[in-house]
Amino acid sequence: MSNLAAQDNAALTSPPILQYHPQFKQIGPRDIILQADDEARLCFHFDLARLLPISSFFADLANPLPSDLIDNTPLYPLIDTTSAGLALFLSAIESLSSAEPFRTKQSISGPPLAQIVLEAALIGRRYDTPVITRLLCELQPHDPMQDMETRLAMPFALWALAGVADQIADAARATARCDTFDIINIPSYMFDILQNWVPVHWMGLQGLHLRRASAGSRFYQACLSTRPSRFRACEACEAGGVDGAEIFGREAYHAYSARDMEALLKRGLGISCRECRGSLEEVLRVQLAWFREFTQKYDFVTSYAQWIARFR
């Protein structure tokens, strides 16, 4: 065999040269090798015993073939993973054995920590490790680099990826309660992940904010459909020519969004007289209940006519 042929044969039979993440470079007696799927394709030594009880994917791993062994250690490439996301995912799993809450530092170079958090959450979703959602939710409020939209939308994104319905709805309502939150300002990487991985939940969040954008004017129209004759001013206001319904109508006409109308409702419908305010609230009891549900319920899918029919 020529020297050139011998070199080619050695290249075919020698194990590939792997690049390891510095935090996961040391090998333990029960370790496997996990390899990210991005351009860096970093590898990670990790104790399989830590993954078995928390992930059905790793619990059901097939026995490795001889070709899958690197120095007698099984190598498992994980598709749809990034090196940064896998590092955070494994660091979070390691934290389960610690009494301290999970924390990590923002990298000065590379993607934002919030993006890496979502990449780690995607690994938990794809490889059936639900505990990762709780760990990442504990981590993300302590990221000082996050802007307000990212900070408020992150819990929704994490719970949406995990598919936990009650938590999804609570997180969606939290974004709606913030006066300055604007859904169009969430970062592009979060938009892409939500749209591609959980489009139904993403549409639900958009629907909630779209409803809130027009809720004030819709509520005003609903109030106009209520018979004015049902409202009676108190004796003092009637004697003074003060019409609480008219005052509320003038104020409500300019309250286009949910936030505008909620501010008006907090001011007692704009009516200073407690008796007249209570009377008008009773007249508008059904419309007020509809407004609150329309602007706060995550999965509101009922038309106004269908909703109001329940009270007839």
Partner residues linked to 44 by β-bridges: 34
Query: Do residue 196 and residue 223 come from a single domain?
Result: no
Query: Do residue 181 and residue 251 come from a single domain?
Result: no
Which pLDDT belongs to residue 109?
53
Q: Residue 9, class by beta-carbon neighbours within 10 Å (0-12 exposed, 13-18 middle, 19+ buried)?
A: exposed
Most confident of 133-142, 154-163, 232-241, 289-298: 154-163
**What is the side-by-side order of every strand in the sheet holding 31-35?**
43-47, 31-35, 73-77, 69-70
Boundary of a domain, candidates 204, 221, 236: 204
Boundary of a domain, candidates 160, 178, 204: 204
Q: Is 4 contained in some domain?
A: no
Q: For residue 224, give Cα distances in angstroms to 90, 228, 284.
A: 58, 8, 10
Q: What is the pLDDT of residues 152-187, one digit of tens each?
A: 899 999 999 999 999 999 999 999 888 788 888 999
Rounded-to-integer distance, Cα 114 and Cα 144, Å: 10
What is the band of 13 on the pLDDT scale with cuts at 50, 70, 90? low
Rounded to an integer, the average pLDDT of 131-159 is 83
Q: Is 250 contained in some domain?
A: yes
Tokens (6 digits) for 17: 């040269």
- Beta pairing, strands 73-77 & 31-35: parallel
The tally of domains found in the chain comes to 2
Single pTM value for the model: 0.80
Query: Do residue 29 and residue 49 come from a single domain?
Result: yes
- One-letter amino acid for residue 303 of the chain: S
Boundary of a domain, candidates 204, 231, 264: 204
Can you give the CATH number for the domain in which 54 is found? 3.30.710.10
Q: Is 118 contained in some domain?
A: yes
Q: Which domain holds residue 226?
A: 213-309
3-state secondary structure of 277: helix
